[in-house]
Amino acid sequence: MSKRIQEAKNLILKNRYSITEIAGMCGYSNASKFSAVFKKITGISPREF
């Protein structure tokens, strides 16, 4: 699994940041691209996670 996606999962679990903020923290230029990559790797969207 991508290190960026693993870090995103950790940030999502902390429940302090929006998906857009997490996308930026993990190096993605926009939330749409981040969400697509997250879903491709994990099988679920960041919001579902």
The boundaries of the domain holding residue 37 are 3-42
Say yes or no to pLDDT of 6 above 80.
yes
Q: In whole angstroms, give the CA distance from residue 21 to residue 17.
A: 6
- Residue 48 domain-assigned? no
Q: Give the number of domains in the chain.
A: 1
- Residue 27 domain-assigned? yes
- Which of 16, 36, 30, 48 lies closest to 5 in space, CA to CA? 36
Quote the pLDDT of residue 22.
97
Quote the pLDDT of residue 14.
93
Total-model pTM: 0.88
- Residue 25 domain-assigned? yes
- Residue 49 domain-assigned? no
- Residue 47 domain-assigned? no
Each residue of 12-47: pLDDT tens digit?
999 999 999 999 999 999 999 999 999 999 999 999
- Residue 37 domain-assigned? yes
Quote the pLDDT of residue 21.
97
Q: In whole angstroms, give the CA distance from residue 48 to residue 19.
A: 11
- Residue 7 domain-assigned? yes
Quote the pLDDT of residue 1.
67
